[in-house]
Amino acid sequence: MIAIRRARASDAAAIGALHVAVWRSAYAGILPDAYLAGLSATRIAASYQRDMFDRRGGYAVFVAVASGDDAPEGSAPDEATIIGFASGGRSRRGDLADGEVNTLYLNEDYRDRGTGRRLMRAAAAHLRVVGCRSAMVWVLRDNPTQWFYRHLGGRVVARGQTRVGGQAVEQVAMLWEPIDTLLAATAAAPEA
């Protein structure tokens, strides 16, 4: 079973490790190899843990937890494993949207199973609860999973550059306005 829930402070280490694994896979050839190799799961985990306690700007983190038959190979039968997470809060660029999904990372073995959509829905529902009428996400232009946001109805509204690992990289901002369009796109399909 895969469940989506709000992250706990005790999840920070698993979130940090997953963040590093996803970046090393998704951004190979896009970001400098030395930068990716030097990512520290411990430092990243500490940053997420700080943000989880702070909650400034309506910030929240949600995790996808696999257990039972859905647990990764090698997991103990009664062990629940974090296989993905999403985070968001009020937008850093209020001129583009009220809310922002800051991260959405998923273990490669769990893609194309609806888990990313469910995480995105949890983040969007949270943003609406904290008063956001629109939502956005920044995506590196060369990110191979950009199609996912387009599939959910995100439309490009801005382009810019950011620096990662000392390198300038292009990014695009994708918008859902009103936020209800994102909630509708991530709603569970009715069972036949």
Q: For the domain made up of 2-132, give the CATH fold.
A: Aminopeptidase (3.40.630)
Whether the CB-CB separation of 118 and 187 falls below 8 Å is answered with no
Longest dimension (CA), the chain: 50
Residue 181 tokens, joined: 């369009």
HSE of 40 in the Cβ direction (CA atoms, 13 Å)? 5
Give the mean model confidence (pLDDT) for residues 8-12: 94
Q: pLDDT (tens digit, 9 = 90+) per residue, 54-104?
A: 878 899 999 999 988 887 777 766 678 999 999 999 998 889 999 999 999
Residue with tokens 């469910």: 118
Q: What's the pLDDT at 192? A: 46
Whether the CB-CB separation of 62 and 36 falls below 8 Å is answered with no
Distance of CA 7 to the CA centre of its chain: 12
Q: pLDDT (tens digit, 9 = 90+) per residue, 125-180?
A: 999 999 999 999 999 999 988 999 999 999 999 999 999 999 999 999 999 999 99
Taking the whole predicted model, whether its pTM rises above 0.85 is answered as yes
d(CA 48, CA 45): 5
d(CA 125, CA 53): 20
Q: Where are the beta strands (DSSP E) in the chain?
A: 2-6, 60-66, 81-90, 99-106, 135-140, 155-164, 167-176
Whether the CB-CB separation of 123 and 101 falls below 8 Å is answered with yes
| β-pair partners for 3 | 65
Write phi, then psi, for 134 (nearest 5 degrees): -145, 160
Domain boundaries, the chain: 2-132
Q: Residue 29: which residues within 8 A CB-CB, separation 6 or more? A: none
Whether the CB-CB separation of 87 and 118 falls below 8 Å is answered with no
d(CA 111, CA 116): 7
